[in-house]
Amino acid sequence: MTQRTVFITDDFDLPETMDAISERLAAQGINVIRGPKTIKGQKLVYPAERLNELFGRADVAVFSSRSICSKEVIMAAPRLRGIVAPTIGTETIDVKTASELGIIVGNGAIPENYISVAESTVLLMLMLLYDPNRTAAILRENRPKPGESQHWAKMMRGRTIGFVGFGRIARNVAQRLQGWDVNLIAYDIKPPAEMPFGVKLVDLDTLYRTSDIVGLFVVVNDETRGMISERALSLMKPDAYLVNTARGALVDEAALVRALENRQIAGAALDTFQSEPLPADSPLRRFDNVFLTPHMIGHTQDVYAIRPGNPFPDATCFSDTAVGNILSILNGEPPKYCVNPDVIPLFKERCSRLDASL
């Protein structure tokens, strides 16, 4: 059998995962090509003069959200059968072009990933309502307790939580809010036939106007990019909060800064940003009613390694899942976690055609 070749991107944020994937594939006799180094704060765009060198022999290519898998990259890979992202996000992959060519796309949509993000999203909601850092500072700095009328903590009970998008993460957030006596509303361009967990479907403007907490749970595309705009923020209540554990490109950060300055909304919790890491001079850093984390609030130990004694028999992690997805594609089978399942028949035709040409 002709030796298979897998291209694996560099990722400054996932070096151990990428190395583990490379080592495990190489141990099985697969030729591994590693990509050029990524740089913090930039998306890696592969230079045209290196496309054939990097992708000309690739049967599978592994990309992350720090590198761009463009149409030009895909067209430079005539042997390509599949593209794999080790994590959930595929916004840097031209899935449309891949699908048109019968190239299957897999990702790391493992429960450990989306449940971790869901749990941490609930945490951020509570952080905004209770502000425990402010409370802890009273003890740490040996200050007197505030008077009754000066307390800042707010209960979750009775509030309205709005889900912009109702995919895996949003559904798991809603599931975890059962029993909290909250009102759950959602907007989704392709909602499920039946909304679970007592969630009520509403239009987007109604969600902005009535939610006490607006959570973002959509992918980035031409329709969603910058959707948290000046208009959207103007519709939100002055005592409402914004939570973003999805992608920074969903938010017009300049508009958000203005809304915070003008007290149009009560605050925000942001785990993702337009530029990552968040620049040191970002005006978002100066607000005491904004809770910022460096795109890792849901990065638990569980997504990187299977913990000993894990009670879930199907437990997995990023590197295990990526290797499994890659091997499935090399064997002519769709990956376990498939982004474009509609193209499976076309993918199988492509694999047969490529096999016949070897």
Domains of the chain with bracketed CATH? 5-110+316-357 (3.40.50.720), 111-302 (3.40.50.720)
Q: Mind giving me the DSSP string for 214-232?
A: EEE----STTTTT-B-HHH
State the pLDDT confidence band at 87, using cuts at 50, 70 and 90. Answer: very high
Query: Where does residue 195 rank: exposed (0-12), middle (13-18), buried (19+ CB within 10 A)?
Result: middle
Active site residue 295: yes
Residue-wise burial string across 317-348, b where 16 or more C-beta atoms lie within 10 A, e elsewhere: bbbbbbbbbbbbbbeebbbebbbbeebeebbb
CB 6 within 8 A of CB 53: no
pLDDT of residue 315: 75
- Return d(Cα 174, Cα 83) in angstroms, integer: 31
Residue 188: the pLDDT is 96
Which candidate in 66, 159, 171, 247 is catalytic? 247
Specify whether the CB–CB gap between 39 and 67 falls below 8 A. no
Distance from C-alpha of 328 to C-alpha of 322, rounded to nearest angstrom: 10
Choice among 57, 159, 276, 350 that is catalytic? 276
Residue 213's CB is within 10 A of a number of other CB atoms, namely 22
More reliable by pLDDT, 221 or 123: 123
102-156 pLDDT, tens digit per residue, is 999 999 999 999 999 999 999 999 999 999 999 999 999 999 999 999 999 999 9
What residue type is 268 in one-letter code? A
Other C-beta atoms lying within 10 Å of the C-beta of residue 221:
10
In this prediction, residue 1 carries a pLDDT of 57
Tokens of residue 230, six digits: 């000046």
Is the whole model's pTM more than 0.85, yes or no? Answer: yes
Q: Distance between CA atoms of 337 and 322, rounded to whole angstroms?
A: 9
Task: Count each helix (H run) and each strand (E run) in the chain, helices first.
Answer: 13, 12
The first and second tokens of residue 42, run together, are 């930039």
The answer on pLDDT for 311 being more than 90 is: no
Q: Which one is catalytic: 81, 295, 299, 350?
A: 295
Query: How many angstroms separate the CA atoms of 196 and 122, rounded?
Result: 18
